[in-house]
Amino acid sequence: MGTLGFLSEWRFEEYKRAFREVYMSGAGVGDRAPVLEASRCTVPNDQTDAGTGPTGWSSVRGKSMGLSRGARILMRNRLKVGLFTSDGQPVQQDQNSTPVQGTLSSQGVYVMNEVLLHRGKEPHLAVVDVYVGGRFLTEAVADGIIISTPTGSTAYSLSSGGSIVHPLVPSVLLTPICARSLSFRPLVLPSSTPITLRLSEKNRGRELEMSIDGVNVGQGMTVGMEVRVWNEEMRHGKNEWQGGVPCVMRRIRGGEAHDGWVGGLNGLLKFNYPFGEEP
């Protein structure tokens, strides 16, 4: 949920009302409707409202707002990341490490916010070769490198000087952490651009550490190993989206889907707030 809660415009204590609004709106009628109906858990009879079924809302599904009025959904794209050895073989996750979503392999692990490659406990700056779209870009000498989605642009990438990117912009962010060169600036690239980070032979430390969405992978990155990052493909089928993470948006009278994001900039991040004034 994060410290600021900028990712989700819903406060956690509102989850019952949020779910009820989506359920009563009729959203998901089609391929997803049977999933809602079939996945309801069984509860004792004295906890079930008469005539409404286990969820308590079955009899009013879609009737409050109409079957044609679905909840507003913002699709957030993700990245996929894989760790490979110097000879191009995928590295399997260490069994003693903290589990992440999936396995570090050629299939990749899903990334919602960012991939972080950093020097960890090593005192020396990391030396990393950066490849963009299969072409060599630069030899980065820095505390680390962040590859971020637009959703993660307001997280660690923002603290490291990266741009704020709207979640509807199909892009990927490449942000250095405390780069030695003053000319190495954060980049915003097309979402279809694959990025590879390879630990250089010039690196003075033993290995680099890697984390995904704030979770340490546990598998150190030694000289010659590389991290490959590519975009998750999102496709819109007849009644469903494939790929991405659907986020339910608040309904604002006369507002559009991006209003909550703009409100988050002003209300949570205090965007461009004057110094010396009380918020």
205-261 confidence digits (pLDDT tens): 888 999 999 888 877 888 889 999 999 888 776 666 678 887 777 655 555 545 667
In a domain, 125, yes or no: yes
The rounded Cα 201 to chain-centroid distance in angstroms is 31
CB contact at 8 A, 175 and 161: yes
- The pLDDT of residue 272 is 81
DSSP code for 46: G
pLDDT digits (tens, 9 = 90+) for 178-207: 999 989 999 999 999 999 999 999 998 888
CATH number at residue 150: 2.60.200.30
Amino acid in the structure at residue 190: P
pLDDT value at residue 87: 82
The 8-class DSSP code of residue 28 comes to T
Global pTM value:
0.75
Domain count, the chain: 1
Q: Which is it for the CA torsion 82, 190, 216, 145, positive or negative? A: positive
Q: Is residue 177 part of a domain?
A: yes
Q: Is residue 223 part of a domain?
A: yes
| Residue 127: inside a domain | yes
Range of the domain at 214: 76-231
Q: What confidence category does residue 65 fall into, taking pLDDT thresholds of 50, 70 and 90?
A: low
